[in-house]
Amino acid sequence: MKLDIRKMRWTREPEQYAFADGAIKVTTRPGTDLWQRTYYHFRNDNAPVLQMETEEPFFSFTVRTDFSGAHRRFDQCGIVMYLDSEHWLKGSVEYENEEFQHLGSVVTNHGYSDWATAAIPAQVKTMWYRLSRREDDYCIECSPDGERFSLMRICHMWKGAGKISFGIYACSPEDSSFTAVFSDMELTDCRWPAHNGQAPDKE
């Protein structure tokens, strides 16, 4: 099912954004980010987040991101499930330099973030993401073409049961601004199959 982006709601609204042909363009502000405590010891919780709510325990959400304008270290945009300031997850590409950037995911539980990442060429300017839910367990995948998805992360969210919110985000942690484009948002049955031998999904 294609999503009507205009029915999604801002958790934090950016100063500049625009809807166009089923897509949304979000222009970031400098000094915006999502991170909690770990290693860096700072807490940043001011990135724009556009989400929808659901109580559906099994689903997948897919979106295409275009970050061609990213040009400063840590410029990023991607998929997010933001529950509150101390419980959320995100998947994105973060710009590093003209040679490489970071494809990674962050999971934050009880106010502490972790970051799992891998280097990819700086020439990559678009990425698809798929967030899948199986009750309070979650899977983040990525794809260069929207067809062949690769696993980025499986995780448990301590506040991930019942009603949740999920969607997209963009931010520029340093003194930067760029325009991220999100398109092809789709909500489907869960594409993350039960593990072999796992009990069937509950009705």
Give the pLDDT confidence of 114-146 residue by residue, as tens digits: 999 999 999 999 999 999 999 999 999 999 999
In the chain, DSSP finds a helix count (H) and a strand count (E) of 0, 16
203: pLDDT strictly greater than 60: no
Whether 174 maps to a domain, the answer reads yes
What gap in Å lies between CA 144 and CA 154, rounded to an integer? 19
Q: Is the pLDDT of residue 183 over 80?
A: yes
Record the tokens describing residue 84, joined without a space. 């509150």
Q: Is residue 157 part of a domain?
A: yes
Query: Is 12 inside a domain boundary?
Result: yes
pLDDT value of position 138: 98
Q: Is residue 150 part of a domain?
A: yes
Total domains present in the chain:
1
Q: Is the pLDDT of residue 200 over 70?
A: no
pLDDT beyond 70 at 202: no
User: Is residue 164, in this structure, part of any structural domain at all?
Assistant: yes
pLDDT the model gives residue 95: 98
- Asked whether residue 198 is assigned to any structural domain, the reply reads no
What is the dihedral sign for C-alpha 149, 155, 156, 158?
Answer: negative
Output DSSP code: residue 37.
S
- How much is the mean pLDDT over the chain? 95
- The answer to whether 178 touches 46, Cβ cutoff 8 Å, is no
Tens of pLDDT along 26-78? 999 999 999 999 988 889 999 999 999 999 999 999 999 999 999 999 999 99
- Of the chain, the percentage scoring pLDDT greater than 90 comes to 88
What tokens appear for 61 in the block? 């959400």
- Domain extent, residue 118, equals 5-188
Domain CATH for 59: 2.60.120.200
Residue 75 lies in a domain: yes
Q: Is residue 67 part of a domain?
A: yes
Question: Rounded to a whole number, what is the distance in angstroms from the first to the last CA of the chain?
Answer: 20
The per-residue pLDDT for range 159-169, each reduced to its tens digit, is 999 999 999 99
26 in Cβ contact with 66 (< 8 Å)? no
| Per-residue pLDDT at 42 | 84
Which pLDDT value is given to residue 2? 83
In Å, how far from its chain's centre is CA 42? 21
